[in-house]
C-alpha cells in the first residue's frame, strides 16, 4: 500500500476483515506499506497491520513478495505509481479519481491493459448492498427505460473560511475540487446504474477564493471548485442533473440519487445507506408508494455474510465488498468494475464538465476523447 | 372569474373561505363567472357559488359591478384578458405562467402599470406558511449569504404513453411543458427566496413525442418538453440547480427545494407542506442536525387564523392566503407579490432556459430582456 | 350549535364548506348558535356564519326551525343537552368524549335510541382519508388476522407548570385528563380498525399536581391525569398498547398508530395525516418494505372531491367528511359511526382504564357494563 | 468462548477488530473456542480466528492460558458456565438475558462478586454511539426531569406458522420468549437511560401455540410468549410503556425508544442506529422541532476511532465498543455496565412482568427480590 491516511486506514481494514466474512480464493497478506515520513508510516503499519514499511514507493514496486499495489495517495501521484506498478507486473488498485486529467487516466488505462494486470479504481459506493441491489433491479428491467437520474453529493466540511488551504484545494494536486473528489462518485454511480454519458453542461464555483496557508504564513488562492453543478444527456436518452458541493450546511456526507424509469423509481442516500426506496408503477392503484427497503436481508447482495435481517452494516463494509471483488478478480485474472476503464470514462466526464464550465457550452465525451 | 376548471375551483373556494378565517378589509363577492360552454359554466357557478354567468369573457370586463378579474384559463389566453381588464380599470389576478412568451408578459406588465390597477400572478406556493417562514428566516439573515438552491418539481401524471394530447402538451397554448407549468413555480420560489437570476443553462426533453389525439382520430406531435433541467447563477452569486418533469414515477406532486447558506440550510417538500427542515450552523457541536419544524404554530405566518399547534392545513389554504394578500393589496392599492412584475421576471427566466436549451449555451436574463 | 370555541369554529366551517366539495342530499343551514356570553356568541355568529344567537341552549332545543343540535361545550354538559335534544326530536352530534362517565353515556345512548333521532359523536379522525383507507384494507382482509395495535396520542401543551388550572384539568368538568381528551380518540380508532376491547390494565399519572388558578388568586389541585398508559386485550385476540399524554415535549399533536396483522402492517401519524405506511407480507422477497402512500388519489376515500393527486388536505377536512356522513345519515335516518353507541363503548373503555388504574388489576369492559 | 453461532461470530469479530480502531491497554488473544460438535467448532475456530478448540466447555474454565470466558450459548446454560468461570477466577462476559430466572441471575451475580472477577452481560445496544450520546445528554440534565419512556422492540421472524419449534420457543431453554430475548434489551436501555424500575403490569401472548418440531416428527407446544407488553413505573416517577414482539410484520429488527423530559425529548431507532432525534424545549419559538443528528461526528462517543463525519458504522461496532469497555474494565479491575448486577436487575424486571401477567396485577421489583 502506498499512502497511509484516511483511505489507507479503510483499505487496510478491508483486507484484514475480508476473510472473516467472506471466503476469498486467496487471503490477502499485508506485506508492506510505504510513506515518506518514516515515523508516521511505522505507526500506521503497526496500527493497520502491515508487516513491513518502505519510505520510497518505488521499493514496493520492485519487491518480489508483492503482487498487488494499492494507491491511496493524493490524486496527482496516482499515474506514475500505477504505471510503474503495471510495468512491474503488479495488479493495482487506485483511489479515485483515477487521475488529474483524462490524458493521464488514458495512459494509466493503457499501461494496465498492455501489461495484462488486474486493475480497479476505488469507487466503493458501487458496493453498498442497496446500490448493488438497485443495479440488479435496473438490469432486470424492473424500472424499464430510464428517464432521469438526479444525484447530489453534498458535504460541508470546508464552509468555515478559516479552513486552511490543504492539498485538496489546489488544482495541481487534485485536478478539480468538489467535482473530482465527490462528483466523481456520483458520475461513477450514474455510469454504473444508468449508462454512458453523451454530453454535459457544467458550472463550477469557488465561494471562498482565498484561504489561510497551512503553515500560518498568510493566505493563498483556492484553485479548485468549491461546488459543481452539471446537466447531462446519456447515450440511452436519459437526462441527468448533478451537483457536488462542499458548501451544503448540515450535510456531512450526503451522497444521494433518484432514478426514474418508465416502470418505477429508486432513491438512495448514503447517510442511511442500508435503505433503498423503490416505487413500482404496477403496484395496485391506491397502494402505490415508495417502499422503504432495509437492504439487510439474505436477498440483498453481500448480506448473507453478516447478520440476520435488520442489522445494519456501515461505510467500511463497502470497501470489504470491493476488496472481495478485487481478490476474486485477481484469482480469475479479470478486472472487476470499477476498473481503470471506468476510471478513465469517469475522468472524461469530469473533464467535459470542466471544459463546458470554461466555455459556457455543452461538451460531448467524444469531443474530450478526440482531444486526447 | 374567467374559466372554471381545477384552478377555477380552488380560486373560488379561496374567495368563499377567506372571510371565515381572516378579517379582510373587504369581503369578496362572487359576482360572475364566464366560460364558453354555458351548461358547464352554469354548473360551475352553482357549485362554486358565483351569482351570475357569462359566456363571453369580454362581458365580465365590461360589467360595472365587477372590480377584480380572475383569469384561470389556458396560458395563451392570459394576455388578451389581462390587458383588457387592466384597460377597463379592473384589478386582475392571473394563473401562472403569466404568458406564453416574455414579450407577451411584458405587454401585460406594462398594461397593469399604465392603468394603475392591482395585479397578481397566482404563485400560491409562496403562501404556504412554511415557505413564508423560510423567507422570513432568510430575510432576517439566519442563513447568511446564500450559496445554493436546488429545487425539483416532480410529477408523473403523463407517463403513460396513452395519455392524450391535451392542450397542456401543445406549445401554442402553453409556451412550454413541464418547464412553464411546474418549473415556473420553482423559478418563482427561487426568486422569492434567493433573488434574481443572472443566467441559465437549460436542457429540455420530450420522452414521448407522439400521443393519441383527444378525439381518438389518430396521434399528434407533443410540441412541448416532458422534462426540463437547468443550471443557474443568481445576481448575488448563489448557484441554482433545477429540474421539472412529468416523468418521475412515484412523485405525484413533489415540489421540493433545499437552500444552503453560510449559517444554515432549509428544506421543504410540498407533499408534506406543513413541515420545514432547518439547520443552523451555530447549534452546539454534537447537537447539530436538521430540525423538523411543524409549521402549525402561532409563530408561523397565517397559522393563528386556524387551530392549535399540530393541526395541519392543506393545499387549498395557500390560495386563501394569497387571496387575503390580494384583497389587502386592493384595499391599499398596492400589488402584492407575486405580481405581474414577478410574472414577467419568471417568464424571462423560462425563456432564457428555452433559448439556452436551443442554443446549447448559457443565456443571461439581460439578453432576453434586451431582445424584447 | 351549542358552544363557540375551538370546536365550534371547526364544526361551523365544516357545515359551511361541505356543499362546496360534496353534493349533500340536504344543505345545512346555520340557523342559530348559543352561548352564555352574549357579546362573545354574537361575535362567533358573525365570524362563523350563524344566522341567530341564543344565550340559553334550551332555547335552541325548543326552536322549531332547528333539526340538528351540535354540542361543542365542555364534557360535563353533553349529557343534559343531548338528552334534551333527543327528547325534543332533534338529531344530535356531540363532541367527544361523549360524557364524563359510562353511566351518563348510557343514558345519552338510551335517549337517542328511544327518540329515534340520528346521533353522532365527533371522532373526526375516523374521517381522515388515510384512516378510512386503512379501515378498508383491514375490512378486505389485506392484513389478515390482527395481532397488534400500538397507538399513542402525544401532546405537550401543558408542560409548563405555569399553565393555569383550566376546566380541562378538573375532573368534574371532564371525567379524566389526557385519557378522555385524546386517549378517547385512539380508543375510538382502535375500535374502528381492530374491534371491541375485552379488557385493559391502566396507569394514570399527574406530573404537576398543583397549578395557578386562572383568576390569579392562588393555586389549585389538578384532579385529572396528565398522562395515561394502558394495555388491552381485544375480543378478537389482538393485543393493544396505548398511551395518551400532554407531557411529550416536541409532540404538538402526534396521534399515531401501527397495526400488525398476519399479512401486513399499517402505520399512520396525524401530523402528516395524508400519508399512510403499508407493508405487505406477500411482496416479493428483497422488495419488502413499508410503502409510503400519499392518500390523495382518486382511489382514496373522499379525495375525488378535491384536487389532483399529490395535493394534501388538512385537519379541518376530517370534519367536512364527518358532517357529510352526518347529513347523509339524517337523510337516510341512520346514525353513522362514530355514533352514541360508539361514544358509549369508548366511555366504557375509558372507565375500565380508570378503574384498573385505581385497583391495580385488569378490568374487563363487561365488568364496567355490569356495574351500570 | 463457549458457543459459536450468531453471537459467537459477532463477539469473535469484535475481539479481532478492536485493536484496529482503538488502542486497548491489552490486546485480546483468541485462545480457544468450545462447542459440543467438534467439526462445527473447528470450522468456527478457523473462520472466526480462534487458536484452539475444546468440545467440553469445562476444559476452557480449567485452562491456565485463558483469562476471560465469553458465554454465547442458550440462556439456560449461562448460570453453570458463568459460576464455574468465576470460581476458577476467570473474568466473564455472558450473552443476555443473563439467566432464565431471577434466582439464577442472583447466584451468578453473587459468584462473580465473591470471586472478584470482572463481569459483563452483553447488552450491546448501550454502546451504539447515539445511545451513549443520549445517555450523556440525560446525565447532563439536558432533558431535565424524565416523564416518559416508550420503547418497542419489534421483529417478525417467526410469523410464519411453519417456522419450527426451535429452542428459543421453549421456556426451559430461555425463560421467556420475545420478552427475555428482545424485551430484555429495552429494559436494559430504560434502566441505563431513565433509572430503576419500581413496578410493572404485564401482558404476554402466544399467537401460534403449536409449531412443527425441528426434526419433522410432528408438532409441539410453544411454551413462551410471542409478544409482551408492559406498563412501568420508575423509582424517579417516570412512566414507561414497553412492547416486545416477534409478530410485527415489516419490522425486521426495530428497537426504538422515545424519552420525554421536562426540557426536551429523544428518539432512537436501531434500524437507522447512527441517527438520534433530539428536541429542546428552549429552542427559539417557531424554530422548535426534532433535530435529526447523524451521530458520526467527533463529538459523539467512540466515533473518533473511525471516519470523518457522515460515514456510518453498523451493528457489529456496538460489540467492538462493548469489548473495548470490557478490556478496559479488566485492566482496571472494574466491571463496566452492563454487568452482572445489571443483568440481575434486568432479570428481576423480566420476572416481574411474567408474574404480573400471570396474576393480572401490578408487581414491584422489590416483591420479586423479596421472593428470592
Q: Which of D133, D290, D299 sits opposite B292 (nearest CB)?
A: D290
Is some CB atom of chain D closer than 8 A to the CB atom of B278? yes
Nearest to A237, CA basis, from A198, A181, A291: A198
Contact present, B204 and A241 (Cβ < 8 Å): no
CA pair distance A303, A288, nearest whole angstrom: 27
Q: Give the total residue count for chain C.
A: 372
pLDDT of residue D22: 95
Contact present, B7 and B36 (Cβ < 8 Å): no
Residue ranges of chain C with per-residue pLDDT less than 50: none
Give one DSSP letter per residue of D116-179, joined into a string: T--EEEE-GGGGSHHHHHHHHHHHTTTT-SEEEEEEEEE--TT-STTS---GGG-HHHHSSSHI
pLDDT class for B339, splitting at 50, 70, 90?
very high
Is some CB atom of chain B closer than 8 A to the CB atom of A206? no
Q: Please answer yes or no on whether C278 and A292 come within 8 Å at the CB atom.
A: no
Q: Please answer yes or no on whether B289 and D292 come within 8 Å at the CB atom.
A: yes
Q: Which of A205, A262, A361 sits opposite B361 (nearest CB)?
A: A361
Q: How many alpha carbons fall within 13 Å on the CB side of residue B28?
A: 29
pLDDT of residue C62: 96
Q: Please answer yes or no on whether B241 and A229 come within 8 Å at the CB atom.
A: yes
Q: Please answer yes or no on whether D294 and B289 come within 8 Å at the CB atom.
A: yes
Q: How many alpha carbons fall within 13 Å on the CB side of residue A309?
A: 21
CA pair distance D192, A177, nearest whole angstrom: 45
Handedness of CA B237, B203, A146, A124 (dihedral sign): negative
* CATH architecture of the domain formed by A127-336+347-353: 2-Layer Sandwich (3.30)
What is the signed CA dihedral for D137, D138, D141, D142, rounded to 10 degrees? Answer: 50
Is some CB atom of chain D closer than 8 A to the CB atom of A16? yes
CA pair distance B108, B96, nearest whole angstrom: 13
Q: Tell me what percent of chain B is helix, strand and coil, each rounded to the nearest 5.
A: 40, 25, 35
pLDDT of residue C25: 95
pLDDT of residue A64: 95
Handedness of CA D123, D127, D128, D131 (dihedral sign): positive
Is some CB atom of chain C closer than 8 A to the CB atom of A254? no
Question: Which ranges of B152-224 does DSSP label H, i.e. alpha helix?
Answer: 171-174, 178, 184-193
Let me know if domain C126-337+347-354 sits in CATH 3.30.360.10. yes
* CATH architecture of the domain formed by D126-313+347-353: 2-Layer Sandwich (3.30)
Would you give the end-to-end CA distance of chain D in angstroms?
A: 30
Is some CB atom of chain C closer than 8 A to the CB atom of A289? yes
pLDDT of residue C74: 94
Is some CB atom of chain A closer than 8 A to the CB atom of D271? yes
Q: How many whole angstroms from its chain centre is CA C7? A: 11
CA pair distance B308, B315, nearest whole angstrom: 18
Q: Please answer yes or no on whether C309 and B252 come within 8 Å at the CB atom.
A: yes
- Give per-residue pLDDT as tens, C137-180: 999 999 999 999 999 999 999 999 999 999 999 999 999 999 99
Contact present, C196 and C235 (Cβ < 8 Å): yes
Residue limits of CATH 3.30.360.10 in chain C: 126-337+347-354
Q: Which of residues 35-54 of B touch C (CB under 8 A)?
A: 47-49
CA pair distance B247, A148, nearest whole angstrom: 8
Phi, psi of D66 (to 5 degrees): -120, 125
- Give per-residue pLDDT as tens, A181-204: 999 999 999 999 999 999 999 999
Give the three-state DSSP class for B342: helix
Q: Which cell goes with D245?
A: 414482539
pLDDT of residue B306: 96
pLDDT of residue A171: 96
* CA distance to partner chain A, nearest, from residue D48 (Å): 6
Nearest to B270, CA basis, from B132, B165, B131: B131
> Can you point out the beta strands (E) in A24-137?
32-34, 52-54, 68-71, 91-95, 119-122
Q: Which cell goes with D35?
A: 462447542
Average pLDDT over every residue of A315-336: 98
CA pair distance D179, D203, nearest whole angstrom: 10
CA pair distance A252, B289, nearest whole angstrom: 10
Q: Please answer yes or no on whether C271 and B254 come within 8 Å at the CB atom.
A: no
* Number of CB atoms found within 10 A of residue D162's CB: 8
* Number of CB atoms found within 10 A of residue B140's CB: 8
Q: Which cell goes with A257?
A: 440519487
> In sequence order, what are the residues at sequence separation of 6 or more whose Cβ sits closer than 8 angstroms to the Cβ of residue A23?
none
Is some CB atom of chain D closer than 8 A to the CB atom of B292? yes
* Number of CB atoms found within 10 A of residue A293's CB: 24
Neighbours of chain B (3+ CB pairs under 8 A): A, C, D
Task: Output the 3-class SS for C238-273.
Answer: CEEEEEEECCCCCCCCEEEEEEEECCEEEEEEHHHC
Please report, for residues A245, A316, D20, D307, the alpha-carbon distance to residue D297 in angstroms, rounded to integers and kept in the order given. Answer: 19, 16, 19, 9
> In sequence order, what are the residues at sequence separation of 6 or more whose Cβ sits closer than 8 angstroms to the Cβ of residue A163?
A157, A211
pLDDT of residue B223: 98
CA pair distance A13, A315, nearest whole angstrom: 12
> In sequence order, what are the residues at sequence separation of 6 or more whose Cβ sits closer than 8 angstroms to the Cβ of residue A217?
none
Residue of D nearest to C279 (CA): D250
Q: Please answer yes or no on whether D293 and B288 come within 8 Å at the CB atom.
A: yes
pLDDT of residue A83: 98
- Give per-residue pLDDT as tens, D304-337: 999 999 999 999 999 999 999 999 999 999 999 9
Q: How many whole angstroms from its chain centre is CA C17? A: 20
- Give per-residue pLDDT as tens, A53-95: 999 999 999 999 999 999 999 999 999 999 999 999 999 999 9
> Can you point out the beta strands (E) in chain A?
32-34, 52-54, 68-71, 91-95, 119-122, 146-154, 197-205, 210-212, 219-221, 227-234, 239-245, 254-261, 264-269, 275-280, 290-294, 363-364
Q: How many DSSP H helices and E strands does chain B contain?
A: 12, 16
Is some CB atom of chain C closer than 8 A to the CB atom of A294? yes
CA pair distance C150, C269, nearest whole angstrom: 12
Q: How many alpha carbons fall within 13 Å on the CB side of residue A187?
A: 34
pLDDT of residue D50: 97
What is the signed CA dihedral for A307, A310, A315, A317, rounded to 10 degrees? Answer: 20
* CA distance to partner chain D, nearest, from residue A120 (Å): 22
CA pair distance C259, C267, nearest whole angstrom: 7
pLDDT of residue D59: 96
CA pair distance A154, A166, nearest whole angstrom: 19
Residue limits of CATH 3.40.50.720 in chain B: 6-124
Partner residues linked to B221 by β-bridges: B210
Give one DSSP letter per residue of A260-293, joined into a string: EESSEEEEEEGGGTTEEEEEETTSPTTS--EEEE
Chain C residues close to A293, C-beta within 8 Å: 286-289
- Give per-residue pLDDT as tens, A250-287: 999 999 999 999 999 999 999 999 999 999 999 999 99
- Give per-residue pLDDT as tens, A128-178: 999 999 999 999 999 999 999 999 999 999 999 999 999 999 999 999 999
Average pLDDT over every residue of D148-165: 97
- Give per-residue pLDDT as tens, D229-280: 999 999 999 999 999 999 999 999 999 999 999 999 999 999 999 999 999 9
CA pair distance A323, A12, nearest whole angstrom: 10
Is some CB atom of chain A closer than 8 A to the CB atom of B361? yes
Residue of D nearest to C157 (CA): D281
Q: How many whole angstroms from its chain centre is CA D20? A: 24
Average pLDDT over every residue of B149-171: 97
Average pLDDT over every residue of D38-67: 96
Give the three-state DSSP class for A239: strand
Let me know if domain B126-336+347-354 sits in CATH 3.40.190.10. no
- Give per-residue pLDDT as tens, B206-237: 999 999 999 999 999 999 999 999 999 999 99
- Give per-residue pLDDT as tens, A298-316: 999 999 999 999 999 999 9
pLDDT class for B9, splitting at 50, 70, 90?
very high
Q: How many whole angstroms from its chain centre is CA A337? A: 11
Nearest to A340, CA basis, from A93, A115, A75: A93
Strand B146-154 and strand B239-245: the pairing is parallel
* Number of CB atoms found within 10 A of residue D52's CB: 16
Q: Please answer yes or no on whether B201 and A205 come within 8 Å at the CB atom.
A: no
When the candidates are 3.40.50.720, 3.40.1440.60, 3.20.20.70, 3.40.50.360, the CATH number that belongs to B6-124 is 3.40.50.720
* CATH architecture of the domain formed by A6-125: 3-Layer(aba) Sandwich (3.40)
State the average pLDDT for chain B. Answer: 97
Residue limits of CATH 3.40.50.720 in chain D: 6-125
Amino acid at each position: 500500500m502506498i499512502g497511509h491516511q484516511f483511505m489507507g486506514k479503510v483499505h487496510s481494514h478491508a483486507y484484514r476483515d475480508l476473510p472473516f466474512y467472506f471466503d476469498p480464493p486467496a487471503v490477502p497478506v499485508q506485506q508492506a506499506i510505504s510513506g515518506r515520513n518514516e515515523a508516521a508510516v511505522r505507526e500506521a503499519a503497526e496500527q493497520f497491520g502491515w508487516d513491513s514499511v518502505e519510505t520510497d514507493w518505488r521499493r514496493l514496486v520492485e519487491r518480489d513478495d508483492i503482487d498487488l499495489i494499492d494507491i491511496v495517495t493524493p490524486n496527482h501521484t496516482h499515474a506514475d505509481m500505477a504505471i510503474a506498478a503495471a510495468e512491474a507486473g503488479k495488479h493495482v488498485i487506485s483511489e479515485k479519481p483515477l487521475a488529474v486529467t483524462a490524458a493521464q487516466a488514458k495512459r494509466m488505462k493503457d499501461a494496465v491493459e498492455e501489461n495484462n494486470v488486474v486493475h480497479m479504481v476505488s469507487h466503493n459506493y458501487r458496493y453498498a448492498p442497496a446500490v448493488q441491489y438497485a443495479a440488479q433491479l435496473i438490469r432486470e428491467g424492473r424500472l424499464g427505460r430510464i428517464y432521469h437520474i438526479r444525484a447530489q453529493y453534498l458535504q460541508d466540511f470546508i464552509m468555515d473560511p478559516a479552513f486552511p488551504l490543504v492539498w485538496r484545494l489546489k488544482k495541481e494536486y487534485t485536478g478539480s475540487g468538489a467535482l473530482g473528489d465527490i462528483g466523481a462518485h456520483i458520475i461513477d454511480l450514474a455510469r454504473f446504474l444508468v449508462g454512458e454519458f453523451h454530453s454535459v453542461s457544467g458550472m463550477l464555483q469557488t465561494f471562498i477564493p482565498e484561504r489561510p496557508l497551512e503553515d500560518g504564513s498568510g493566505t493563498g488562492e483556492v484553485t479548485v471548485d468549491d461546488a459543481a453543478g452539471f446537466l447531462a444527456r446519456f447515450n440511452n436518452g436519459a437526462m441527468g442533473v448533478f451537483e457536488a458541493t462542499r458548501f451544503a450546511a448540515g450535510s456531512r456526507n450526503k451522497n444521494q440519487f433518484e432514478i426514474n424509469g418508465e416502470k418505477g423509481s429508486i432513491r438512495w442516500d448514503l447517510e442511511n445507506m442500508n435503505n433503498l426506496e423503490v416505487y413500482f408503477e404496477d403496484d395496485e392503484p391506491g397502494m402505490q408508494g415508495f417502499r422503504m427497503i432495509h437492504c439487510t436481508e439474505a436477498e440483498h447482495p453481500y448480506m448473507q455474510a453478516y447478520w440476520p435481517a435488520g442489522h445494519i452494516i456501515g461505510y467500511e463494509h463497502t470497501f470489504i465488498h470491493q476488496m472481495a471483488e478485487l481478490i476474486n478478480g485477481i484469482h480469475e485474472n479479470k478486472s472487476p468494475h470499477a476498473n481503470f476503464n471506468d476510471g478513465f470514462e469517469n475522468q472524461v466526464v469530469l473533464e467535459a464538465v470542466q471544459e463546458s464550465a470554461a466555455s459556457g457550452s455543452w461538451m460531448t465525451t467524444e469531443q474530450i476523447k478526440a482531444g486526447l
